[in-house]
Structure 1
Amino acid sequence: MVYLCPVPLDYLSFNADAPVSAPTSKGQTMELTQDWDKTFPKSYKVDHQKVTFTNRYGITLAGDLYTPKAEGPFAAIAVSGPFGAVKEQSSGLHAQTLAERGFVTLAFDASYTGESGGQPRDLASPEINTEDFSAAVDFLGMLAGVDRERIGILGICGFGGMGLNVAAADPRIKAVAATTMYDISRMMSQGYFDSTTKQQRIDGRKALNAQRWADAEAGTAAYGPTALQNLPEDAPQFAKEYAAYYTDENRGFHARSVNSNGSWTLTTPLSFMNMPLLTYIDEIAPRPVLLVHGSAAHSLYFSETAYSNAAEPKELFIVKDATHTDLSGVSAYGTSELISERRVSG
């Protein structure tokens, strides 16, 4: 079972109070929330601005741009994830922390989620979400003061896998880091811990395509329950840790987050099942790959496999006793320190 799941959320409904018009990469405007509605405190060591930009498929993405209070030129980093999260959660904390360390950073909502555009809501795609990272690189590279030869990306959880995929495809990305990485395509096709059999996969495709008929007949996408808010008692410990973070209003809850307040479209797994994300991970070289994972994380095997298949230069940094949620949802500081030490080089 996939525990990071949604209900449909109309992203415009969250923009009614105190809207602000943000500039886009094509001179358009998009109404975004004005208030600081992050799950972490605002840092006054850096400047913050809401922005929008458009990906290659014409979907307008919303982001938070964090800029050091210093003179450029700057290295820049695009940040997204975890899978089912929004920029007001972990990716924003990572971006703000990295900006305090001298990077221009952009935390963005993936297509179909958060404040970004795309219909239906709460849909994920290996192709489009990979493209979202390249679109973020487009945006950063057009900013005055950003050195195009020093643009990197940071993917968290499921967007770690997407980040490694785009780094292989987009040589403009000079370095890639992934923290507590999930290979969503592997998980969707093979299940947690590669436990899905071939017959189960075949049966799963039949069920998912039966759902396609139901969606076509209804004229709208169907969604599952808000899984993290209704976990069974026998749910895996890692799912309980997700719920403890994403559904607690004093920790990581955010109304626009799929993990906090929704579920994915029921047919979301279809595109991931037959499209492996990390096929060409070795072709990121000679650009550096940094993988950060917790020793107590259920997902550690994803980073171990990625590290094994990547070419030098590469590094797998294991944080002792850290769980998946310790790195994907709570702390940005360890990863930020590692990235700052390595820097983004040409």
Structure 2
Amino acid sequence: MHFIPKTAALLLSVQLISAQVFAADYRDNPFTLTYEGALSANVAGQVNIHPVRYQLNNIEIAANVYTPAGYNATNKHPQPKYPAIVIAHPNGGVKEQVAGLYAQRLAELGYIAITADAAYQGASGGLPRNVDKPAHRIEDIHGMADFIAQFAGVDHSRIGLLGICGGGGYALKAAQTDKRFVAVATLSLFNSGRVRSNGYMDSALDTIQQRLQSASAARAEEAATGKVRYVGDAKLSDAQIAALPFELYRQGFDYYWKTHAHPNSSFRYTESSLLSLMNFDAVSNMDLLQQPLLLIAGSKADSLYMTQEAFQLASKAASKQLYLIEGATHIETYWQPKYVSQAVRELAKFFGGTLQGPLPSTASQKDE
């Protein structure tokens, strides 16, 4: 029997959730999850969440592992193992937001899923806080694979990777060299290096050298005095947000500051990080990525150009698919029920076809 996840029950459950406010107050959830329909307790025989911590390069990483209904780590009888999905969160995001939502949905389909706060961010360790360097984010993805491959019940030969927003760009880079990832998917891909260098939609090309000078000065100040400069932490009024030129940023402020706010989530990052960010391109060396690839984005997303570029350059992928969610913007793919259900459906088909293998008997009984 091959692992072909069933989506009908999931899609029905998504449709039954109110579309008016697809969010939840983190203060009302014991796991501080921010999305509507989030797990609030671990119940035997159902999808469960397991907060875990592990060491990665002497930094403590905080992660959540979601397990399918019927999962039993203490079962001593030989049984087929579960495929697993590693999920990389957006820039400024944390594991309790959109990454957690997609991890839970994938666990409902029979996968073991892990999402972790990036090193130096969220609930993970690392000083100074909010360092945002591509090498660290890529290493975070390798580290999640290290951990989940050894998690009870995981088939380490069937690990998939899903990167969301900035996590999508870092997922492409991680998978170029880490062939433990059998299949790679992105949702609303964001090429952090290109945007930090060129500006969003290439709107800041004329200030590249000026910003590099400022970042260099910030690095020098850190080395000389220990003082850390931050960027991206401005507090904007509703009027200022409404006046922002890009829909991604307008809707992003609403998502991260209001509807799905979490105290560990922040737009701020060390200015010296720009020395690494502005020299990074998520879609360089794409010939190294030879696994099956699925790129999902909203048809109305002003970030779509980054997904389209990655798709064009993925010339060596075993297979590649670009799926556009009609009518969706970048941020709406994070939470709108109708768009989330479409993305999950495509992920189910993709991972179901690329991470094939026998279903554990408990999951099989649930799906049949």
TM range (shorter): 0.7 to 0.9
Q: Is the 8 A contact 1:294 1:322 kept in 2?
A: yes
Alpha-carbon separation, structure 1, partners of 2:241 and 2:104: 35
Secondary structure of 1:267's counterpart equals helix
Establish whether residue 325 from structure 1 lines up as the match of residue 331 from structure 2: yes
Indicate how the Cα distance of structure 1 residues 93 and 144 shifts in structure 2: closer, same or farther if over 3 A, else same.
Answer: same
Indicate how the Cα distance of structure 1 residues 238 and 143 shifts in structure 2: closer, same or farther if over 3 A, else same.
Answer: closer
Within the candidate set 251, 255, 276, 1:245 is matched to 255
Unaligned runs of 5+ in 2: 1-28, 72-79, 357-368
Q: Give a deviation string over 1:267-307, Cα, whole Å, max 9, x none.
A: 2222011132321223221x111110001111000000000
Task: Provide TM-score, normalisation by structure 2.
Answer: 0.78
Q: Is the 8 A contact 2:102 2:344 kept in 1?
A: yes
Q: Is the 8 A contact 2:67 2:112 kept in 1?
A: yes
Alpha-carbon separation, structure 1, partners of 2:320 and 2:197: 26
Give the 5 Å matches for 1:307-322. Answer: 307-311=311-315, 312=317, 313-322=319-328
User: How far did 1:211 drift?
Assistant: 2.0
Q: Is the 8 A contact 1:189 1:201 kept in 2?
A: yes
Partner of 1:151: 159
Secondary structure of 2:162's counterpart equals strand
Establish whether residue 272 from structure 1 lines up as the match of residue 277 from structure 2: yes
Partner of 1:35: 30
One-letter amino acid of the structure 1 residue matched with residue 186 of structure 2: A
Partner of 1:222: 229
Within the candidate set 63, 80, 102, 1:94 is matched to 102
Alpha-carbon separation, structure 2, partners of 1:104 and 1:225: 34
One-letter amino acid of the structure 2 residue matched with residue 235 of structure 1: L
Establish whether residue 182 from structure 1 lines up as the match of residue 186 from structure 2: no
Indicate how the Cα distance of structure 1 residues 227 and 298 shifts in structure 2: closer, same or farther if over 3 A, else same.
Answer: farther
Alpha-carbon separation, structure 2, partners of 1:178 and 1:78: 11
Within the candidate set 289, 301, 318, 1:284 is matched to 289
Q: Is the 8 A contact 1:246 1:252 kept in 2?
A: yes
For the pair shown, the structure with the greater C-alpha radius of gyration is 2
Q: Give a deviation string over 1:210-255, Cα, whole Å, max 9, x none.
A: 222333344131223633644455312332111111111xx21111
Indicate how the Cα distance of structure 1 residues 206 and 329 shifts in structure 2: closer, same or farther if over 3 A, else same.
Answer: farther
Secondary structure of 1:326's counterpart equals helix
Q: Is the 8 A contact 1:228 1:243 kept in 2?
A: no
User: How far did 1:207 drift?
Assistant: 1.6
Alpha-carbon separation, structure 2, partners of 1:54 and 1:289: 29
Alpha-carbon separation, structure 2, partners of 1:266 and 1:279: 23
One-letter amino acid of the structure 1 residue matched with residue 328 of structure 2: A
Alpha-carbon separation, structure 2, partners of 1:86 and 1:298: 23
Secondary structure of 1:174's counterpart equals strand
Q: Is the 8 A contact 1:184 1:272 kept in 2?
A: yes
User: How far did 1:333 drift?
Assistant: 3.0
Aligned length: 305
Partner of 1:47: 48
User: How far did 1:323 drift?
Assistant: 0.5
Establish whether residue 171 from structure 1 lines up as the match of residue 179 from structure 2: yes
Secondary structure of 2:297's counterpart equals strand
Identical-residue share of aligned pairs (%): 32
Unaligned runs of 5+ in 1: 1-33
Alpha-carbon separation, structure 1, partners of 2:152 and 2:223: 46
User: How far did 1:149 drift?
Assistant: 1.2
Establish whether residue 69 from structure 1 lines up as the match of residue 75 from structure 2: no
Alpha-carbon separation, structure 2, partners of 1:306 and 1:253: 30
Task: Provide TM-score, normalisation by structure 1.
Answer: 0.83
Q: Is the 8 A contact 1:94 1:333 kept in 2?
A: no
Alpha-carbon separation, structure 1, partners of 2:243 and 2:301: 19
Within the candidate set 276, 295, 302, 1:298 is matched to 302
User: How far did 1:195 drift?
Assistant: 3.3
Q: Is the 8 A contact 1:246 1:253 kept in 2?
A: yes
Partner of 2:244: 235
One-letter amino acid of the structure 1 residue matched with residue 103 of structure 2: A
